[in-house]
Amino acid sequence: MTLIYKISPQAAWAEAELAGRFTGAPVDLADGFIHFSAADQLRETAAKHFAGQADLVLVAVEAEALGEALKWEPSRGGALFPHLYGELPASAAVWVRPLPLGPDGAHVFPEGL
């Protein structure tokens, strides 16, 4: 099982859980796909796109469960990033955990990531 991760404002993910689906953040909607990161890309993604933001959650999703709608495409520096072309069913979340800011202002990731 390959886990991929979505960083989301807690309120947006709570709305997705109520609706049963996540349609994307504004950047996702503008780009036409939902942005995810692999585990080794998370810290850079958080620092680049979510610096200083509190009230975030980290959503883990099994990549294989998303089928052909998930594409691994080149992005930063040519690294392949997972992009979902479609809605994300909230039920696809393997787990959801808070992504708090540490005393140094950087996000504190769950143990093991």
Q: Mean pLDDT of successive 10-residue segments in the chain (113 residues)?
A: 96 97 94 97 95 96 96 90 97 97 96 91
pLDDT at position 42 is 96
Domain count across the chain: 1
Domain annotation covers residue 109 = no
| 37 closest CA partner among 102, 105, 107, 91 | 107
> Which pTM was predicted?
0.95
Distance CA 95, CA 16 (A): 14
Amino acid identity for residue 2 in this structure: T
CATH number of the domain that residue 80 is part of: 3.20.170.20
What pairs with residue 8 in β-bridges?
A: 57
Domain annotation covers residue 88 = yes
Domain annotation covers residue 66 = yes
Domain that holds residue 67: 3-98
Domain annotation covers residue 47 = yes
pLDDT at position 58 is 98
99 dihedral zone (left: phi>0; alpha: psi -120 to 50; beta): beta
What pairs with residue 97 in β-bridges?
A: 58
